[in-house]
């Protein structure tokens, strides 16, 4: 599954899969407990495919950051928890993405990225290359 259908909803824990669109928004399913909810246009929603991480030279798409973490962890969960100290989180993220912009990427951002990666890994949704190839074949 591509990150086009994976959402982060402000004020709600974890990640959500977009199930269907409605007139006033869409239906989303939690990746944590599989509960479905209606999400209206008043919710602050971020689509993971549109999120990028600042580096010293460019903005790196979140998909690429997840791929780097996956390579570092050999497809498994991260070696650090998202609940680790700020220093440990930054040290880990520096190993994954050495040129990330430390002034614009906060510990809270790193926490979310690690938490999201582990959630996607647990749900077996880290095969982005296959999704890209499939969409290119359709065109």
CA distance 47 to 138: 22
CB-based contact 108:84 (threshold 8 Å) = no
Which residues, at least 6 apart from 34, have a Cβ–Cβ distance to it below 8 Å? none
What is the CATH number that goes with domain 52-138?
Answer: 1.10.10.1650
16-52: b or e for each residue (b if 16 or more CB lie within 10 Å)? bbbeeeeeeebebbbbeeeeeeebeeebebeebbebe
User: Where exactly are the structural domains of the chain?
Assistant: 3-48, 52-138
C-alpha dist (Å) from residue 27 to 16, 20, 39, 51:
10, 5, 6, 21
pLDDT tens-place values along the chain, 139 residues long:
578 899 999 989 899 999 999 888 999 999 999 999 999 888 999 999 999 999 999 999 999 999 999 999 988 899 898 999 999 999 999 999 999 999 999 999 999 999 999 999 998 888 865 444 444 444 4
Class for domain 3-48, per CATH? Answer: mainly beta
């Amino acid at each position: 599954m591509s990150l086009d259908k994976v959402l982060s909803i402000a004020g709600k824990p974890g990640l959500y899969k977009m199930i269907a669109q409605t007139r006033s928004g869409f239906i989303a399913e939690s990746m944590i407990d599989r509960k479905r909810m209606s999400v209206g246009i008043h919710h602050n929603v971020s689509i993971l495919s549109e999120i990028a991480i600042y580096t010293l030279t460019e903005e790196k798409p979140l998909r690429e950051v997840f791929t780097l973490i996956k390579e570092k962890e050999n497809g498994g969960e991260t070696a650090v928890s998202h609940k680790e100290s700020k220093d440990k989180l930054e040290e880990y993220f520096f190993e994954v993405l050495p040129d990330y912009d430390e002034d614009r990427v906060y510990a809270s951002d790193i926490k979310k990225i690690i938490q999201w990666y582990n959630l996607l890994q647990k749900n077996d949704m880290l095969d982005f290359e296959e999704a890209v190839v499939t969409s290119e074949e359709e065109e």
